[in-house]
Chains A and B, each alone.
Chain A
């Protein structure tokens, strides 16, 4: 699978990208997350694992303020991206989301052409000045998402006509096209078959070179395969956070051990 000691050395070399301190999330009166403190590193894949409803997706959606779209959601505490609090009043979530891209559980390409899907982000953010530049971004994004070879001859076709795995990679290309600094992935493989999953996982490992990747997953094997850091959530609490190799081989919290060995969750 991977060479654990080697990974650890790589992890230590990187800097903190996102710092969360005392994050509380409420849906109406119900508290969904309490006191989450996490440091997410640059150029690292961080996996959030835990049983359903434990708050891992909620926390992920805090990182690009997608929770703002839920009318009764309330976030307390602070989340710093490169030292800036993203919940500061002066921060426009739209600008934030250009820096923190997101890939969703179900592949959700726009019902437009493959080209337009990828070009949409750069267009609205004004990243390009000419058609040629845009073409370049589209190509490089599709290459990064390992989709270029499959679709280069049919960029004008509908993105929704691709297979599930290709759609998800298209969504990754779309997220990558805006040149984000952090890429959030909310169970990106849960709607995919094992072959497509393997492709996406391989891709995630490659993307680590350019971004900080945060992935929520239900599959512990997946977390073990793709991530260097793992956070285990349970009942709205961050139970344990540490190196993946450490969490999976020698968890310090009994709840983590129970989950990993299949006794809860």
Chain B
């Protein structure tokens, strides 16, 4: 280098001069702009997903909350002993001969009499259309009550029963005078009568416990349909799934992660577990149909078969989650335990599992949540059936009785024609969501508790 060049070195880059820290360079501006854009994309994505969630929840709740309320008729009924016990001997077998039709006639007549007594005009509404206010559920319940307590015969009791779906819909705002004019099942005059009855307190809306406890009901009486059987069915299935999937999944994961040699067989198993996690759930339904129902001859529509299918379905997910949790335990802990002379099994059960427990728990509960919401495989094993009787208690073989499940009930109601089932469908979704949220909260609480212990 010559003297000339060396002396020019500071002057060789005169153009950027000496950049000030107080002004941003062009490149810096570009970089900052890119960062700001990226943040904006992220915020936008979150906003979009939150608004979609909000819209979804809003539609479900606006449709479904009304399912928890139900219009009911309250009026005094004199139980005519001659009509309900023609032989007068209070024998159950004899009284059984009076079918619900007999009770329907009695209720219809008593409602008309009560309206007349209260001075409520039924002008423009035929007696038959007044009778149509009473749900077909009410006579059946009254009959059951009288058969239980024959001493009620001859007395006057206050009967509280559902109003029919259309009247219920009118009070909730689903049925309007405009739609009633087009509807052959209900007339505007009936709606006017409903208004008068509501003013007199005969027709009233109450919280509908029956929605959570009643079994399913047919299209003839949507107002009586409830989630009782579906809740029991789902509860049985979840309990069985936990009992089966947790030991299986955790044991398989521990073996694969801590004990199994790494060779072609374990590689094959690993690939297959990942693939099984991605198999569409309906395929498990077909498998369950073929194996548990056609081959093993387990009863159709039973929670046991449902739980077996859901166990198969969630097992890969839980194995993957558990293995990830086990793998996340630092190897230094294993070294430490082996170093003091713990056996492999002691290392796993004393040190690795407790540390992996929060992760295993989270994975299991998420797997259960997906099993709780699973519909497709249950359709194939017959759980979409109309089940009007409660399954027996868990110790009386209730898991073998026909039942439905919450998501299947949603599906089955959504596909029925009567509009009253639409609100029930949305209402059932609310119940399902409540269960899922509860499970997730339990998962979080348990995880916190475990983590605090260490």
Contacts and interface: CB of A to CB of B under 8 A. Distances in A.
Contacts of B333: 108, 110-111
A160 to B, nearest CB: 8
A122 B127 CA distance: 89
Given A94-B342, A94-B343, A98-B341, A71 B261 contact: yes
Contacts of A66: 335, 338-339
B332 A120 contact: no
Contacts of A17: none
A98 B341 CA distance: 5
A217 to B, nearest CB: 18
B332 A175 contact: no
B383 to A, nearest CB: 44
Interface string B302-345: 00000000000000000000000000001011111111111100
Contacts of A94: 338, 341-343
Interface string A74-107: 0000000000000000000011111001111010
A62 interface: no
B355 interface: yes
A124 B335 contact: no
B340 A109 contact: no
Contact of B338 (A69, A71, A95, A110): A69
A87 to B, nearest CB: 17
Per DSSP, chain B at the interface is helix
Interface residues of B, number: 20
B355 A101 contact: no
Interface size of A as a range = 20 to 34
A259 B24 CA distance: 49
B118 interface: no
A13 to B, nearest CB: 30
Best-buried of B261, B335, B343, B346 by chain A (most CB within 10 Å): B335
Nearest to A68: B338
A109 B339 CA distance: 12
B156 to A, nearest CB: 71
B341 A121 contact: yes
Nearest to A113: B454
B336 A108 contact: yes
B336 A97 contact: no
B341 A97 contact: yes
B350 interface: yes
Given A120-B337, A121-B340, 6 more contacts: A95-B341, A104-B339, A110-B336, A112-B454, A124-B342, A125-B341
**Nearest 4 A/B pairs, CB to CB:** A98-B341, A108-B332, A102-B339, A121-B340
Interface of B: 261-262, 330, 332-343, 346, 350-351, 355, 454
